[in-house]
Amino acid sequence: MSTKRISISNKEKIGLISNLHTMLSAGIPILETVDSLLEDVKGNMRKLLLVLREDLIQGKKVSFAFAKFPKIFDKVTVNIIKASEEAGNLDTTLNDIKENIKKDIEFNDKIKSALIYPVFIMFVFVAVLLMILVVVVPKISNVFLRLNVELPLPTRIMISMSDALINNTIPVVLGIGFAIFIIMFLFKKNKRAFISILVSLPAISTLAQKVDLTRFSRGLYLLLSAGIPITSALELAEEIVSKREMQRAIKQTKEMVFSGKKLSDGLKLNKAIIPSIMIKIVEAGEKTGSLDRSMQDVSEYLDYEVSSSLKTLTALIEPLLLVIVGVMVGGMMMAIISPIYSIVGQIGG
């Protein structure tokens, strides 16, 4: 059975982790727990549990089975579970993972909700554009052709687009569909490259940096809490972030820690992207021996910062989009109306 492409919803993932935590905390053996869960599941969840059950019977660990499902459990989660199994506190760690998944979902929901309005505005603009090209332009273009008047370039472009859409509807639709398919295919093949381009845009770059810092600090907190060495935790944390600058900063910090320096020393080398408050909290955690808790505090602070930035960005984008769409729709209408005024002027003359 190929398990690399199998995925489940976030709701199912939380349910699985929560059930495992509850039953293991109650003292129920892991194999008996899996058998119990298999009674009420189907689809990909059942496939996951069957693979887990088979590996447990063969004497393998939970982390070994979970590593077979990269679309469900990332390397950070797998390594946290592996460390907790070795430490004998799997039930407690599962609860931490469940809470982290909930926070990740809430965090992603904030980002998605900020994108809903721009997407809606673009959808409305496309709908208005199609209505003008299909309903308005054909009627007006017939009048222009009969009068045999010279039309401005924007009007000619709109008439050409309208003719192409009406007279070659199927080829145009197939062409657009094919273009969308190619874009989606290239996105799946080079997802990291596309994300890197997106997060480098001026308006998004600062926000993406804060998002990366939030994910990095939260991931590091979980890894350190599970007992994973700081060097291994930093290596895993490189895969959490999306911006190349952050990846380089984490890699540089990891090399500093390898050479015997503190985590805060490595972070200080990248003050351009690492907030000073984060460095101070990390220094305090290193002095008190509670670095994992310090990373948790950092993640909560940065989560609040991202929420505030999203609200500000959304407040700026909404009027800007309305102005842009208004100008574009107004331009299209002017391309239709200006020749009419010209004709009326000639008749009056």
Share of the chain above pLDDT 90, in %: 1
How far is residue 19 from each of residues 15, 32, 83, 161, 164, measured CA to CA in Å?
Answer: 6, 12, 20, 57, 57
pLDDT band for 105, please (50, 70, 90 cuts).
confident
- Would you list the DSSP string of 301-332? HHHHHHHHHHHHHHHHHHHHHHHHHHHHHHHH
Residue 349: predicted pLDDT: 52
Summarize the confidence of residues 250-265 as an average pLDDT: 88
Radius of gyration for the chain, computed over Cα atoms and rounded to the nearest angstrom: 28
For residues 148 and 20, give the distance between their C-alpha atoms in angstroms, rounded to a whole number: 77
Per the model's pLDDT, the better-predicted residue between 149 and 267 turns out to be 267
Question: Quick one: average pLDDT of 150-172?
Answer: 82
208 class by beta-carbon count within 10 Å (0-12 exposed, 13-18 middle, 19+ buried):
buried
- Its CATH architecture, for the domain 90-349, is Up-down Bundle (1.20)
pLDDT at 348 over 60: no
Report the pLDDT value the prediction gives residue 203, as an integer from 0 to 100.
63
46-61: average pLDDT: 89
User: Domain boundaries in the chain?
Assistant: 10-73, 90-349
Report how far residue 159's alpha carbon sits from residue 137's, in angstroms, rounded to the nearest whole number: 6
Higher pLDDT, 192 or 116: 116
